[in-house]
Amino acid sequence: MPAILDITVSGRRVGGGVHLVVGAFVGDREASGALDARARKAVAHLLARGRFGGDEHERRDGELGPGTALTLFGLGRPSDLTSRKLRQFIERAVDAASGAGAARLAIAVPTHELAGGEAGGLRAARDAALATYRFDAYRAKKKRPALRGVALIAPPGGSAPAFRRGVEAGLAVAAGAVWARDLANTPPNVATPAWMAARAREGARRWRARIQVLGPPELRRRGMGGILAVGSGSQHPPRLVRIELGRGPRTVALVGKGVTFDTGGISIKPSSQMDEMKWDKCGAAAVLGILETLSRLDLPFKVRAYLPLAENMPDGAAYRPGDIVTLANGKTVEILNTDAEGRMILADALAWASSERPDALLEYSTLTGSCVVALGHTGAGLFSPDDELAGELLAAADETGERLWRLPLWEEFLDEMRGAHADLKNSGGRWGGASTAAAFLSQFVSGTARWAHLDIAGPAYVGESKEHRGATGYGVALTVAWLRRLASAARR
C-alpha cells in the first residue's frame, strides 16, 4: 500500500517551525477561537491588517513568531460553506505550506457545523491526506515534498473525541482513495486484466478476504459471453474477480467496471485523448479502494465485490458490429457498436452478483460520454428504481462532496434498447444515452430490488490539467459514508 501523509489531532498550542493556517468567515473576528492566546493575538493582527474581509479566495500571510509562518484564508459567509468549499480550504492550506517549503502544517479547522464532530474530523483528515497526492511511480526522479505531517486543530466545543474518531475514519478513507488512484493511473502496458487481478489477490491477502479469479475457460463454462466478447481482440485475456469481505446480517454487492484500456474495438475511437482510456478501469479501482477502507473499519456488513476486467482491442479475433452475444443470464445482445463495451462486461458481473441475492447492489462505471455531456466533470449520474436507496446515496454524496445527480430510468429508455434480432442491442440512439445504458443494465439485476448504477465517467478522473491530471478515487468516500450511515441507523 502507498503511504499517505501523516495526519494528527493537535491541542491549542502551536509550536515553533510550524506553518499555521486559519480560515475566517466574512465579518469574523474570532477565527482563532481554538488556538492559544499567542496565536489568537497574531491572527487578530492579521485580520485587522489591510481590511481583511473574509471573502472566498482572500489571503493574508504573516508570522506567528520567528520561523513560524501564519496564513489566513477567507471562507466566505458561513451560510454558504459546503463540504466542497471546506475541501478547497484544506487543499489551499496544504498548498500554502508546501509552497513555503514547510515540514509541518497546523490547520485550525473552522467553527462550523460541517467542520466539527466526527463528520468534520473525517472530512478534514481525508482532504488533507489526499491534498499531497501525486502519481510519480514512473518518474526517474521523484520529487519528495518537504511537508511531512499535518496537525488538525479541532474547532472549540465538546466534540473533540468525536472529531478524533472522525480523523481515524478519514485516514482509512484516504488510504482507499489513494490505492484506487494508483490502480487507475497505472498505464495500460502494465495494468492488464491479469495485473489488476493480481492486485486484487494482494488486497484479499491483506484483508484476509476470500477471492475467486475466473479466466476464459471458467467464463465460457458460466456462459459469460459479454466479458469474453470484449476481451476477444486482446492478447491479454479477460478476468472476472469476486471478493468476499467482512460479516454481518446484511450483504452489500459492489460491481466495478474494469476495462483496462478501451480503443473502442472495431468501432475504434478517435485518436484524440484516447490515452485517457486507461481510466476506463476507474470503477474497478474504486471498488478495490472501498474494500481497502472497509478492511480498516468495523462495519457490520458482508461485502461481495465483482470486478469484470477486459481490454477492448481490434484484431482478427475481436467482436464485431452485427454479432449476437449470449450473456450470463441467457439474454442475447445484438452488437451495434463495439465501443459500448462496458455494459457488456458489467452485464455478466451484475447477473452473477444479483444471483447471490444481496440486500443492496451498487455498480460503478465510467460508462457513457452522454453522462459527461449532461453533468460535466462535477458529479456522477445516479440511476436506481428504489427511491429509498437513491435518497440514502444522495445524502452520503452531500456529506462527502462526491456529487451525485439522479437521472431517470423511464420504460421508454428500455424500449430503445430492444434488439431487432436479439433480446437487446448494446447501443441506443443518440438521445438519452446515459439512461438507455442504465436501462440495458437493469436487465441483469433480476431479483435485486435495491440496486443503483453510478455513471462516474465525469468525476472519475481529471484529464485536462497537467498538474493534477489523473484519477480521483471517486466513489470511495461516498460509499463508505453510505455504509457508515446504514450502520449507525441499525445501532439506534
> How many angstroms separate the CA atoms of 490 and 357, rounded?
20
Q: Is 343 noted as a catalytic residue in this protein?
A: yes
Among 85, 92, 250, 269, the one annotated catalytic? 269
Gap between the Cα atoms of 162 and 485, Å rounded: 15
**Comparing C-alpha atoms, which of 122, 371, 365, 393 is closest to residue 252?**
393
Looking only at the bridges linking them, the beta strands covering 332-334 and 301-312 are: unpaired
Assess whether 13 carries a catalytic annotation. no
| Closest residue by Cα to residue 105 from 69, 155, 80 | 69
Cα–Cα dist 296/207, whole Å: 9
The residue annotated as part of the active site, out of 343, 425, 450, 484, is 343
State the Cα–Cα distance between residues 76 and 204, nearest whole angstrom.
Answer: 45
- Give the active site residues: 269, 343
